[in-house]
């Protein structure tokens, strides 16, 4: 079976990056849009055999590879955050402003 290893790599890194950026929407639509944007910036890593998968995974351990994947995902997160394909949640004044010291003014 033909498989692009990059999809799994991007998905794993995306989970790590989303954990570090709570301000980014995690809905299924935004996750898929971020992954698509990242995958479009990265070269595919197609494999057919287990031997090819092992060889490709070894190459993916290189630090430059990690930098490239993280950069592509960060770019996708920025694009989707600026232009989500769903309504942005409304921010109320209560949620946007922290409580003031000294009570109500």
User: How many other CB atoms are found less than 10 A from the CB of residue 26?
Assistant: 13
Residue 40 lies in a domain: yes
pLDDT given at position 52: 64
Can you name the residues that pair with 46 across neighbouring β-strands? 4
Query: Domain tally for the chain?
Result: 1
- Look up the domain containing 10 and give its range: 3-87
Per-residue pLDDT of 50-72, as tens digits, reads 776 666 666 666 677 888 999 99
Determine the pLDDT at residue 28.
95
Helix pair 63-82, 28-41: axis angle to 10 deg? 130
The CA distance from 41 to 47, in Å, is 19
pLDDT confidence bin for 95, thresholds 50/70/90: very low
CB 64 within 8 A of CB 1: no
Under the banding of pLDDT at 50, 70 and 90, the label for residue 90 is low
Report yes or no on 92 lying in a domain. no
Predicted local distance difference test score (pLDDT) of residue 11: 94
* 73 lies in some domain: yes
Does residue 104 fall inside a structural domain? no
For residue 30, pLDDT over 70 is answered with yes
Is residue 100 a part of any domain in this protein? no
Is 72 contained in some domain? yes
53, part of any domain: yes
94 domain-assigned:
no
């Amino acid at each position: 079976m033909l498989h692009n290893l990059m999809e799994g790599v991007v998905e794993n890194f995306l989970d790590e990056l989303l954990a570090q950026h709570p301000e980014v929407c995690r809905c299924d639509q935004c996750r898929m849009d971020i992954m698509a944007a990242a995958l479009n910036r990265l070269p595919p890593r197609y494999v057919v055999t287990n031997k090819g998968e092992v060889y490709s995974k070894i190459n993916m351990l290189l630090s430059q590879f990690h930098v490239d994947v993280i950069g592509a995902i960060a770019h996708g997160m920025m694009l989707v955050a600026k232009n989500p394909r769903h309504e942005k949640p409304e921010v109320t004044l209560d949620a946007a402003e922290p409580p003031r010291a000294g009570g109500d003014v």
